[in-house]
């Protein structure tokens, strides 16, 4: 079977992570995603380290399944070329600051008039209006404002950002979902629409109970380190050989199994630990008991015992372990893509599997302007003379 989104044409004008990752998600499913980049420079991340043979790993990681076209937006010919591409597109993704597209002569009103069926996704830090409209916003700053940092880290330590760009990634997933919803609606109505997303609003959806607890009960969530926020025992425990195991065993069935695994059934008779509510009230004491047991065992031994009892647990593995993870390899989720400059590079593939069809992304992140002529010929039907004229007019560089 053919990829599900084959025939969907996407213009990806975005930079960094949130927009590019959304475009990559669509490209992985078969959409023809054209990464439209600034002529001569490209996505700002192309200069980021680390690099392999001069190409940024950062850019590589979020721009798979795309083709690259350079457009000089500072020229009239470049802006006209973009409008020509828009007329052929189904979707346009951008994550400039609010007002930037309008300054380029490519605001929603202009694009919608040029192509009423266009679905445009506009991602910004804080939204297209409001008091923070013009404030620049990157992932870490949004984690700070959204409250995510305030609940991350040790109770006695400083607030911490997540170890990955959580907000950018969740925004990208929301963007891809919204695009597909708008595409389904367009199939019924024939009309495209503008979709607005802000990093702040997407980040706030990750707070789970935090907002209702604060608004209704007046309870401000605090940092709890690695302790589970709702169950106990649930924490990251050090083992005898210096490793760590994350264990969640707060429910009554799981705690019963844990007591069996530790050989300490008497814990169930202790009033402090007999019920889920009591354990949560005395979470430091139960953590101490579990922690003492962990320190008597090596990481491998403790994990073997916990697995034998069906408990929710995992050793804390680093990325050297992850690239060798037997489950990911068995499921064929770690891809090796052949890049024209970087060579063969491993990356994580699509996290889903469809019953009726199976395919793997095969197109690596493009080099800057790699598909200029190819895309202009396919999308716009331009011949070599017309493409050369665009190059002379400085609309494209090659």
Residue 359 has pLDDT above 90, yes or no: no
Within 10 Å of residue 358's Cβ, how many Cβ atoms? Answer: 9
Residue 393 has pLDDT above 80, yes or no: yes
The average pLDDT across 176-180 equals: 98
- Which residues have CB under 8 Å from 183's CB, separation 6+? 8, 90, 91, 119
The percentage of the chain sitting over the pLDDT mark of 70, rounded to a whole number, equals 100
pLDDT per residue as tens digits for the range 6-53:
999 999 999 999 999 999 999 999 999 999 999 989 999 999 999 999
The average pLDDT across 365-371 equals: 96
**Closest of 300, 304, 314, 306 to residue 235, by C-alpha:** 314
Are the CB atoms for 395 and 72 separated by under 8 Å?
yes
- Which residues have CB under 8 Å from 223's CB, separation 6+? 150, 151, 152, 153, 154, 155, 157, 159
Query: What pLDDT score was predicted for residue 360?
Result: 86
Are the CB atoms for 257 and 309 separated by under 8 Å?
yes
Distance CA 206, CA 202 (A): 7
Are the CB atoms for 126 and 144 separated by under 8 Å?
no
The percentage of the chain sitting over the pLDDT mark of 90, rounded to a whole number, equals 93
DSSP structure class, residue 44: G
Query: What pLDDT score was predicted for residue 40?
Result: 87
Low-confidence winner among 33-42, 253-262, 356-365, 385-394 (lowest mean pLDDT): 356-365
Residue 357 has pLDDT above 80, yes or no: no
Query: What pLDDT score was predicted for residue 104?
Result: 85
Mean pLDDT of the chain: 96
DSSP structure class, residue 192: -
DSSP structure class, residue 364: P
Within 10 Å of residue 396's Cβ, how many Cβ atoms? Answer: 24
pTM of the predicted structure, to 2 decimals: 0.95
* Known catalytic residue at 168: yes
- Choosing from 28, 43, 139, 168, the catalytic residue is 168
Residue 72 has pLDDT above 80, yes or no: yes
Query: What pLDDT score was predicted for residue 74?
Result: 85
Query: What pLDDT score was predicted for residue 356?
Result: 76
pLDDT per residue as tens digits for the range 229-274:
999 999 999 999 999 999 999 999 999 999 999 999 999 999 999 9
Are the CB atoms for 125 and 132 separated by under 8 Å?
yes
**Where in 219-361 does DSSP place strands (E)?**
234-238, 244-248, 312-315, 334-339, 343-348
Distance CA 20, CA 176 (A): 11
The average pLDDT across 113-134 equals: 97
pLDDT per residue as tens digits for the range 190-243:
999 999 999 999 999 999 999 999 999 999 999 999 999 999 999 999 999 999
Question: How would residue 189 be classed by pLDDT, with cut points 50, 70 and 90?
Answer: very high
pLDDT per residue as tens digits for the range 295-314:
999 999 999 999 999 999 99
């Amino acid at each position: 079977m053919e990829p599900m989104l084959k025939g969907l044409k996407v213009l990806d004008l975005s930079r960094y992570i949130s927009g590019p990752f959304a475009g990559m998600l669509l490209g992985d499913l078969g959409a023809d995603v054209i990464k439209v980049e600034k002529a001569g420079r490209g996505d700002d991340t192309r200069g980021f380290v680390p690099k392999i043979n001069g190409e940024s790993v950062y850019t590589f990681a979020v721009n798979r399944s795309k083709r690259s076209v350079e457009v000089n937006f500072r020229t009239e010919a470049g802006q006209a070329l973009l409008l020509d591409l828009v007329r052929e597109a189904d979707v346009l993704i951008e994550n400039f600051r609010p007002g930037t597209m309008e300054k380029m002569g490519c605001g929603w009103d202009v694009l919608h008039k040029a192509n009423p069926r266009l679905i445009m996704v506009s991602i910004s830090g804080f939204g297209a209006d409001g008091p923070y409209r013009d404030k620049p916003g990157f992932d870490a700053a949004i984690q700070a404002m959204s409250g995510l940092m305030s609940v991350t880290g040790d109770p006695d330590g400083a607030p911490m950002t997540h170890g990955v760009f959580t907000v950018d990634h969740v925004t990208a997933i929301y963007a891809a979902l919204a695009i597909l919803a708008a595409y389904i609606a367009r199939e019924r109505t024939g009309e495209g629409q503008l979709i607005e997303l802000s990093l702040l609003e997407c980040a706030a959806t990750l707070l789970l109970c935090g907002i209702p607890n604060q608004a209704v009960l007046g309870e401000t969530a605090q940092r709890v380190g690695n302790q589970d926020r709702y169950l106990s025992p649930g924490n990251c425990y050090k083992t005898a050989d210096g490793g760590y195991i994350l264990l969640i065993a707060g429910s009554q069935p799981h705690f019963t199994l844990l007591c069996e695994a530790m050989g300490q059934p008497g814990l169930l008779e202790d009033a402090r630990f007999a019920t889920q509510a009591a354990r949560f009230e005395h979470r430091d004491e139960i953590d101490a008991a579990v922690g003492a047991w962990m320190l008597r065992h090596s990481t491998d031994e403790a994990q073997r015992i916990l697995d034998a009892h069906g408990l929710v647990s995992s050793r804390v593995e680093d990325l050297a372990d992850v690239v060798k993870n037997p489950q990911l390899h068995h499921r064929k989720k770690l891809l090796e893509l052949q890049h024209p400059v970087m060579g063969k590079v491993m990356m994580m593939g699509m996290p889903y599997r469809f019953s009726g069809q199976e395919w793997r992304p095969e197109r690596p992140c493009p080099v800057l302007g790699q598909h200029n002529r190819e895309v202009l010929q396919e999308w716009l039907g331009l011949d070599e003379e017309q493409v050369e004229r665009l190059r002379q007019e400085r609309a494209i560089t090659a």
